[in-house]
A and B are shown apart, each in its own frame.
Chain A
């Protein structure tokens, strides 16, 4: 192999370890340097290609797949997609890492404001599917907490969590499972349209947020009783 063929081969495949390539490189310092140069170029290309990926992408794909078998009618599908999109916007939004109770309260409020709680009331997440999502953040749901109509992995306060929506007589209620939110006390809050509570668990915390008249405390008790940490 001559220098020209070597360089052509290396430009086409910098990682090539063909015998002829190796043999030529061993005996030609200029070509060895050329190969090192092109390998550096490739490292830079790899770096340049690595554009940021939307954080919510895996969750959107999994949610879309889990909704597939239901073969919902047109309007139900539209609602589900709308809910996914709204929720996904929330997942994609970056926020500062929460540490203090005040920061966690801010993170939960921001998350709920941005994600919305709209969902398809007719959809129902199977208990097994729910646990598949929760297991990924080290949580297991031992018993039913009601009709769960949405369940996705999410990030709250820049920490991994899960976002569930329970739909009952009092309307949809958002349940956030936050295994990395260590809080010293229960925080209750109210806004003009919603009411919520963030409560510490044996590991991390849970947040329950719903409409002004939603049965927040009874759902909180149910969730506390139902979840365990792996």
Chain B
């Protein structure tokens, strides 16, 4: 049986990259994302005993991170920030595919109503029912948002391909 500290270390090593990426796309700032992930893990440490199934850890941490982010808003009354495209550009290597750049931009342009459920599904591995619970929405509303999010990303990608062809 693993002790608390070993479990915690395992959670940090296995899940902090995905948690950071989720936080980054949620708040749009590398420094805030990092702070948010650290705060999330500190809170997770305090309630680690309530985590019964290892398989549920990622969803549990993402839910904790969303609550931590909500607390951040309530503490500082911050406006929601858009993902900073300059920061993003700095993180993309020059040899990265145009497709990835186009998707970065398209993800940035997505309204948070569409981006949030998509991130929960793609990074968090949540299913539609779980996203609905997490976001306090009906499953129908989540289905519509996910459907529209992918439609918009697909359209952006097709537009990028067309403009490359016409060059």
Contacts and interface: CB of A to CB of B under 8 A. Distances in A.
| SS class, residues of chain B in contact with chain A | helix
How many interface residues does chain B have, given as a range? 35 or more
Contacts of B38: 60-61, 64
A212 interface: no
Interface string A8-26: 1101111000000000000
B107 A48 contact: yes
Given A45-B103, A65-B45, A58 B119 contact: no
Interface in B1-46: 5-6, 8-9, 12-13, 16-17, 20-21, 24-25, 30, 34, 37-38, 41-42, 45
Interface string A39-52: 00110111111111
Contact of A54 (B6, B20, B123, B153): B20
Contact of A13 (B34, B103, B128): B128
A12 B147 CA distance: 4
A45 B34 contact: no
B111 interface: no
Contact of A12 (B9, B12, B17, B143): B143
Contacts of A11: 146-147, 150-151
Interface string B97-133: 0011001100100000000001101110001100000
A81 B103 CA distance: 37
Contacts of A12: 128, 142-144, 146-147, 150
B154 interface: yes
